[in-house]
Amino acid sequence: MQQQNAIVVGIVADLDDPDRLGRVRVTYPNYDDQLSNWARVAAPMAGKKRGFRFTPEVGDEVLVVHEQGDKRRPYVMGGLWSSADEPATDDGNPAANNWRFIVSRSGHLVKLDDTAGAEKVEIIDQSGMLRVVLDSSGPKIEVTASTGDIDLKAPSGTVTIDAATVRIKASSSLQIEAGGTLTVTGATVNIN
């Protein structure tokens, strides 16, 4: 058996797993950049057709362990930040540790904010122009498309809006169209 130190740093070199199991190959900078065998990537949950799928990128620094010290059987335990690969920004108060992130390569963001009195969950696209905010302090849900459209579709179902007050406002024109009967009901109906 080829022995390897139990825990080493590796650099991801290959993602093209021939068996499509989400494995990666790494090089070992402290061992003449040797290329590893295919390494399984540890996840918080993994099972048949379910679990977390966060494959590291080529060039990412990762922590590697070897099953019973056998260098032919590597496992990637997780990624490592460094001065060259800094983490996503924080809220300016790292000691409070209020923000949790998932940030993709292109900058799509899922942010969990546990700031006391301002708790919220945000999903934001890379441009920052499209966002969904679940604001616990409101409480409210906000969906924003600074440019583009928002479509709600239920081709064989019903879209229901049920609230104490519903406001619909258009800065230019408003169109209501029905393929069948259009019914407007109210204690008083004002059309101006």
CATH number where 64 lies? 2.40.50.230
Give residue 65's domain range: 7-79
Rounded to whole angstroms, the Cα distance separating 152 from 134 reads 18
Q: Is residue 159 part of a domain?
A: no
Per-residue pLDDT band at 74 (split at 50, 70, 90): very high
Please check whether residues 68 and 130 belong to one and the same domain.
Answer: no
Q: Is residue 92 part of a domain?
A: no
CATH number where 127 lies? 3.10.450.190
pLDDT, one tens digit per residue, over 106-142 is: 999 999 999 999 999 999 999 999 999 999 998 999 9
> Once rounded to an integer, what is the mean pLDDT over residues 19-39?
94
